[in-house]
Amino acid sequence: MSQYILALDQGTTSSRAIVFDREGGVRSAAQKEFTQRFPRPGWVEHDPLEIWSTQSGVAQEAMTRAGLRAADIAAIGITNQRETVIVWDRRTGEPVYPAIVWQDRRTAGLCEELRARGHENTFREKTGLLLDAYFSGTKVRWILDHVEGARARAERGDLAFGTVDSWLVYHLTGGELHLTDATNASRTLLYNIHTGDWDDELLGLLDVPRALLPEVRSSSEVYGTTAEGLFGARIPIAGIAGDQQAATFGQACLTPGMAKNTYGTGCFMLMNTGPGAVPSANRLLTTVAWQLGGERTYALEGSVFVAGAVVQWLRDGLGIIRESGEVEALATSVPSSGGVVLVPAFVGLGAPYWDPYARGTLVGMTRGTTAAHIARAALESIAYQSADLLAAMGQDSHAPLRELRVDGGASTNNLLMQFQADLLGLPVVRPRVTETTALGAASLAGLAVGYWQDTGDITRRWQVDRVFEPRMEEAERGERLHRWRRAVERSRAWEEGETVGS
């Protein structure tokens, strides 16, 4: 029997496992949601043991569904929610505190304090990241400061810190390995993306002991094998990448200037910038895309806070659709938005604006405006925000983009994808296999064990489902983008202005 690759896709709300064949096709899949905890406003936590139990459970389920044994699996690849933090006892594997999730904002005050002390540029220059509670480093510091005895145990080397990939590898190997890959390390505020190592100055600023940290390895290599008895036979663990980097690899964006956009609750856009870490003048993130052998490839990353979530708002907030899948039919029932523009700045605006005080704005309505016009404006807002991101990336990278590769749930919406192509003036390309995050992890693992020979194999088996070619005239594109930016300006500083005026 031909061997297969097993990808473990550990996400924010569920654990998934997918078995891929040699052509990159899905042989089987399994998924299980786990508990979201919100102990205080702005706090988000997971149970690390539930993450492990659901992930190990779906791994076994996916193999069983495909009629496979452990001996049929050539390697395991791991991809994960990125900045979520777990600290555990090295000997027992017991977490000392719940996982603090990437969405958690409890350390925003610490970030403000570090900025006030003049450290923002140090973090920016060494890590490529903004000094924000989104990233892992301040979360680690919080656990050390608030869990009784944790700091002393960490300094003695009794505790281990890791992002979710490290936690899974530790348990997959029965506690033998404590490691991470360069993509996940690059999201911690503790890792110098230029030297490829943990940075002593950053560790000092965040007061995190080096003894706590995992070893940083490449994204594609055989790290070790699963523990005896876990799956019935030892399986090599051979690939690790954070979810957005894995999706970029799975989309075969393997040469500089190639970019992908994942349309989920928000949007994550990454552009391959090759062996150079490109600093951003537009407050995009500079991050490690992957590391193969000793060579790091870098990317620019930007995020749209509200993408698919705007459709949920139409459903749950306005009640103009009953199911999210109805939005395309409603939007296509009118030929245009009728001049209506929606800026879905419900939680502020991300790159390139970075305005936490912006708020959602609906402009251009008349007595003739209908629910269909608002639905169309909502879909168009996703494409407008992505166009802003791509323009910022083009300015930073000075690399002409030939096409945008797309994935994620909303990429199945043909109206949205066509409008995206029209706004960009570029082809938008949707792949046949949309499980790009898991496919990227599988690809990294498969390369490490010779299942695929080289990155040329990855490129060759990437297949197109549909190409959306731009149809809009340049004059109309410019007019629409101008109208969008006028609407954005009306949304900006709204909350701040209200506070000042009251």
The predicted-structure confidence for 315-351, as pLDDT tens digits, reads as follows 999 999 998 889 999 999 999 999 999 999 987 888 8
For residue 1, pLDDT beyond 80: no
What average pLDDT is seen over the chain?
92
The pLDDT value given to residue 500: 32
- Phi-psi region at 15: left, alpha or beta (left = phi > 0; alpha = psi -120 to 50): beta
Annotated binding site for ADP, which residues? 12, 16, 265, 308, 409, 413
Do residues 380 and 340 make contact, with C-beta atoms less than 8 angstroms apart? Answer: no
Cβ neighbors of 179 (< 8 A, separation 6 or more) are: 166, 169, 214, 215, 216, 217, 223
Q: Which of 396, 440, 386 is nearest to 300 (CA)?
A: 396
pLDDT the model gives residue 17: 97
Q: State the average pLDDT over residues 61-72.
A: 95
Neighbours of 317 (CB within 10 A): 11
* pLDDT tens digits along 351-410: 888 787 888 999 999 999 999 999 999 999 999 999 999 999 988 988 778 899 999 888
Report CA 74 to chain centroid distance, whole Å: 26
Whole-prediction pTM: 0.90
pLDDT at 103: 83
Point out the least confidently predicted range of 73-82, 183-192, 322-331. Answer: 322-331
- CA dihedral defined by 439, 443, 446, 452, rounded to 10 degrees? 120
**Residues of the binding site for sn-glycerol 3-phosphate:** 12, 82-83, 134, 243
Average pLDDT over residues 49-75: 96
Give the domains, in start order, of the chain with CATH numbers: 4-234 (3.30.420.40), 252-495 (3.30.420.40)
* Residue range 60-87: mean pLDDT, rounded: 96
Confidence at residue 2, expressed as pLDDT on a 0 to 100 scale = 66
CA nearest 386: which of 249, 261, 256, 245?
Answer: 261
The pLDDT of residue 13: 83
- Whether 501 shows a pLDDT value over 70: the answer reads no
Give the mean pLDDT of 169-198.
97
Strand intervals (E) in 61-129: 73-80, 86-89, 99-100
Query: How many of the other CB atoms lie within 10 Å of CB of 124?
Result: 17
pLDDT band at 36 (very low <50, low <70, confident <90, very high): confident
Stretch 218-239: mean pLDDT, rounded?
Answer: 95
Residue numbers belonging to the annotated binding site for ATP: 12-14, 265, 308, 312, 409
* Greatest CA separation for the chain: 72
Q: How far apart, in whole angstroms, are the C-alpha atoms of residue 58 and residue 145?
A: 35
pLDDT digits (tens, 9 = 90+) for 95-119: 999 999 988 888 988 998 999 999 9
What are 450's two structure tokens?
Answer: 């010779």
What residue numbers does the annotated binding site for glycerol cover?
Answer: 82-83, 134, 243-244
Which has the higher per-residue pLDDT, 226 or 304? 226
Q: Which residues are annotated as a binding site?
A: 12-14, 16, 82-83, 134, 243-244, 265, 308, 312, 409, 413
pLDDT of residue 499: 37
